[in-house]
Homo-oligomer: A and B are copies of this chain.
């Protein structure tokens, strides 16, 4: 079950002026399941995004990048679950384009004004006719207050939907931000390790919007790992409709820019953490905080070595303070001049290791107490610089194996 994460309450999700959402059951993988989302965007809105760095990226990722570059005013996002349309060669590219054309026909816009997204099984042909047949129902379903259903429609192995809203005041205007995301396996940077859609009614210039989505991704979706697998289909999209009628934000360093960036990053972090809390088979939510590194890069190296170690993750699943495994992971993180004697390791507030070994003040009962919690922080102080990094991960349980051994069935 998700770790300290409950389903969002539909009434608490705030509509974003200029965004309508329509959902349908297209039967792409199986019947009677919401699996199609159309997110319509008002004219004049701006859209920016970051995409997976996987070389085997899916056809919709390639097409979405292409359409975004043409910059003709994106009018809708089209998202299907149940099939990733990845590893499908030239046919996959054709199918992605055809799906855009089908929706463009219904919305009376150009194909290139549609961004397609898919998530699901890799290397199986996209059931294009089912998708196309589901589009009219999704378009007919379009409403501004449909964020809850939208969050449900993009779920795959997620147990609960992930959605959150925030409001922030910018230059006297109340700005709304609402985001949805889905996990929950094949989660690892870079980049954004899932599908995420965040919309705001703020007015933001195109270049600032791109900076903001990159920064938000780096502080959120690029700081999580469930299983170390970077997906073929990841994307985080940020849409700014401009309906709040604030003076256009033209710099991330302005007061308005900073306020918006903070709020957007907060939403992105909430969604990213929700993905980890609902990570496949997760029973623990683990924050990995690395301080005192020479650079953020080396802090992340150490953090990810810990966060993706199956041995560390199974020990947390068992609530077993077999914490030497954390030292081992620090040791193989690839920092060649690391002085292990100057490292301190904490579990929450409990000092576990220093001077190259177990702290004299440490006792098993103290470690055991923390290991039994659902939320745990591993804190490593490298003592060799001023940089830091924070990552989030979950434990590794029987259910991870079960879920992934039976994913297609």
Q: Residue A318 contacts which of B121, B228, B398, B406 (CB distance < 8 angstroms)?
A: B406
Task: Report the Cα distance A408→B336, complex, angstroms.
Answer: 30
Q: Does A227 contact B (CB under 8 A)?
A: yes
A287-334 interface with B by 8 A CB criterion:
308-311, 314-315, 317-318, 320, 322-325, 327-333
A65-117 interface with B by 8 A CB criterion:
84, 86-92
Q: Which residues of B contact A54 (CB under 8 A)?
A: 328, 331-332
Q: Is the CB of B309 within 8 A of A228?
A: yes
Q: Does A130 contact B (CB under 8 A)?
A: no
* A310/B405 contact (C-beta < 8 A), A53-B332, A327-B56, A331-B56 known: no
Q: Is the CB of A401 within 8 A of B409?
A: no
A202-226 interface with B by 8 A CB criterion:
none
Q: Is the CB of A232 within 8 A of B327?
A: yes
Main secondary structure of the interface of A (DSSP, over half): loop
Number of this chain's copies in the complex = 2
Q: Is the CB of B228 within 8 A of A308?
A: yes
Task: Report the Cα distance A325→B229, complex, angstroms.
Answer: 9
Q: What is the distance, in angstroms, from A206's C-beta to the closest C-beta of chain B?
A: 26
Task: Report the Cα distance A97→B89, complex, angstroms.
Answer: 60
How many A residues have CB within 8 A of the partner chain? 69
Give a binary string over A169-211; 1 marks a CB under 8 Å from any B CB, 0 the rest: 0000000000000000110100000000000000000000000
Q: What residues of chain A have their CB less than 8 Å away from a CB belonging to chain B?
A: 53-57, 84, 86-92, 121-125, 185-186, 188, 227-232, 308-311, 314-315, 317-318, 320, 322-325, 327-333, 335-336, 338, 340-341, 353, 355-358, 396-398, 400-402, 404-409
- A-B residue pairs, 4 tightest by C-beta: A122-B324, A89-B357, A56-B331, A123-B324
Given contacts A228-B310, A230-B331, 15 further A-B contacts (CB under 8 A): A55-B336, A56-B327, A56-B330, A87-B324, A87-B358, A89-B341, A90-B355, A122-B325, A123-B358, A185-B311, A186-B328, A231-B328, A232-B328, A314-B404, A318-B404
